[in-house]
């Protein structure tokens, strides 16, 4: 018995390491591109909205905190809001309209054209995120999804996608937070270390 429990640990570690290597090799350019567009959004005075359910709600909050506080370097606070944290908003909307609208109403209330909405879902099929992505489209936000496999119902609603090619929710989530950390690091890189690289993108419409 102790051996089979140990095998669960080792199989998770082996498969996680294999997936991580494959994912970052394939998605590196896309992560850089998405970080650059987030940096452009922030440099133009926009903000980043994030949302997810369960473990992905924790990821949304974790990443918002990195932006607002700091990540690896000392720099000014950056505007980011996790839409998962205000229990009065979540219970009022959930109670009066249903859980499917808890993120949609916040995107409609807080989102401005040019802001970024980052939706995090392993299945891509959480209705509250699908509805929030439609609201983001309506309000002119740039939508990004962190998802698994095909990105599910969210995929066609996202302008930019980071998809982890796996079936296992915890492994997808573990890659999501690693990709999220890299987005934080690269946003800081573009805004505070490599402004020259960002300048041509700032001049675009
Ligand atoms: O953390 C986990 C599983 O590792 C769970 O809390 C998980 O996030 C929840 O079941 C979510 O509701 C799943 O939603 P989604 O990723 O499919 O959008
Ligand atoms: Zn979990």
Decide if pLDDT at 34 tops 70. yes
Buried residues in 36-67 as b, exposed as e (16+ CB within 10 A): bbbbbbbbeebbbbbbbbebbbbbbbebbebb
Q: How far apart are CA 183 and CA 13, in angstroms?
A: 24
- pLDDT class of 103 with cuts at 50, 70, 90: very high
The total of structural domains in the chain comes to 1
Structure confidence by residue, pLDDT tens digits, 169-178:
999 999 999 9
DSSP-derived secondary structure letter, 165: -
Tracing tokens 């402004």 back to the chain, one arrives at: 195
Domain extent at residue 149: 2-203
Cα-to-centroid distance, 170 and ligand 2 (Å)? 6
Residue 122 Cα to ligand 1 midpoint, Å, equals: 7
What percentage of the chain reaches a pLDDT higher than 70?
99
Is ipTM > 0.90 here? yes
Beta bridge partners of 80: 48
What is residue 2's predicted lDDT score, i.e. its pLDDT? 58
Q: What is the mean pLDDT of the chain?
A: 96
For 130-148, write each residue's pLDDT tens digit: 999 999 999 999 999 999 9
CATH number of the domain bearing residue 58: 3.40.50.10490
> What ligand 1 atom has the least distance to the C-alpha of 123?
17
The answer to whether the CB of 137 falls within 8 A of the CB of 157 is yes
- Residue ranges around ligand 1 (CB below 6 Å): 53-56, 121-123, 126, 169-170, 173
Residue nearest to atom 9 of ligand 1 (CA): 54
State the Cα–Cα distance between residues 36 and 184, nearest whole angstrom.
11
């Amino acid at each position: 018995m102790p051996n089979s429990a140990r095998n669960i640990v080792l199989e998770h570690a082996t498969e996680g390491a294999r997936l991580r290597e494959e994912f970052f090799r394939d998605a590196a350019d896309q992560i850089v591109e998405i970080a650059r567009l987030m940096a452009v959004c922030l440099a133009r005075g926009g903000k980043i909205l994030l949302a997810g359910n369960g473990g992905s709600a924790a990821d949304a909050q974790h990443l918002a905190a990195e932006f607002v506080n700091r990540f690896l370097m000392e720099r000014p606070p950056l505007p980011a809001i996790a839409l998962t944290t205000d229990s009065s908003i979540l219970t009022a909307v959930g109670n009066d309209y249903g859980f499917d609208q808890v993120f949609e109403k916040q995107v409609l209330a807080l989102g401005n054209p040019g802001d970024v909405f980052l939706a995090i879902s392993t299945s891509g099929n959480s209705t509250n995120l699908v509805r929030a992505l439609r609201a983001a489209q309506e309000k002119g936000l740039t939508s990004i999804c962190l998802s698994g496999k095909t990105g599910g119902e969210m995929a066609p609603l996202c302008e930019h996608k980071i998809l982890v090619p796996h079936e296992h929710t915890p492994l997808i989530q573990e890659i999501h937070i690693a990709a999220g950390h890299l987005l934080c690091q690269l946003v800081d890189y573009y805004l505070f270390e490599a402004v020259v690289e960002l300048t041509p993108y700032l001049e675009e419409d």
